[in-house]
A = this chain, B = another copy of it.
């Protein structure tokens, strides 16, 4: 099984200052904290990183700051998807030039790909601009409506998408994920993207996962992976249930904005969200913190 990337990869935030301008000054501190938490890589400018909400130069600045900060520490995947393939190509070329370890892309969402063949054509254009960087498709149908068979995608993409290396698989269809893992004798690196179902992905063979909640709860997830590897499924299940409770709590506060607010709660202010995401106000932050205390998050979520 392809395990180019494995373990827990954090889909990192794009930090902003209080006025909503990109603020890469805190990036080195974020990276150091993630390394200390046992994170094995990062995914930049994805959904968690509000990539599609940033202007082109802002995406480049964020990608550059993280690539620089991670050098010799852990690998970096830069997400470059855009409604405009032309813009995505500019971002892909830039990411490759930075020395990113891989480039990934979501499909366009204004006009949607009408077929898996068309999706492959879109990704082929973008990958061409990524030079020698390995390429990942970012499969997140809840946001993109892209419901094509990922096995068909791998089969059709094989000859057409330059350096196709794998899929960031952010979908609930674990059975299809298992098929992708086993396609072509395990040639592709399939990274799971449903934090609150990590154990269900591990059991079908995913070598690693990319997620939002790994930004602040990587220690919990590393314990899940350790328990799983040690064959202690009962403990893995108990820890996974803690993850479910944490995620539910965060989704009471609109998901992504709550994730970003967590960084401030834990001491690394990543600033507000961009519209149409809506930042938590101070009352909401206080309520979120209280709810997390009530479920004991600060005892079990961060202890390395």
Interface residue ranges, A against B (CB under 8 Å): 47, 52-56, 58, 82-87, 90, 106-114, 118-119, 121-122, 125, 143-144, 172-176, 178-179, 182, 194, 196-197, 199-201, 203-205, 231, 233, 236-237, 240-241, 243-245, 247-248, 254, 256, 274-278
Expressed in whole angstroms, the Cα–Cα distance for A173 and B194 within the complex equals 10
- Please, could you name 18 A-B residue pairs with CB atoms under 8 Å apart, sorted by A? A52-B110, A53-B108, A53-B110, A54-B86, A84-B274, A85-B274, A109-B109, A111-B143, A114-B254, A118-B276, A121-B276, A122-B275, A174-B174, A174-B200, A178-B240, A178-B244, A179-B248, A197-B200
B86 touches A53 (CB 8 A): yes
Expressed in whole angstroms, the Cα–Cα distance for A182 and B174 within the complex equals 22
Expressed in whole angstroms, the Cα–Cα distance for A275 and B111 within the complex equals 9
Copies held by the complex: 4
Closest to A112 in B: B276
What 8 pairs between A and B have smallest CB-CB spacing? Answer: A200-B200, A172-B172, A175-B196, A55-B86, A52-B110, A52-B83, A113-B276, A109-B109
The interface residues of chain B lying within 8 Å CB-to-CB of A178 are: 237, 240-241, 244
The interface residues of chain B lying within 8 Å CB-to-CB of A112 are: 276
| Distance (whole angstroms) from the CB of A62 to the closest CB of chain B | 13
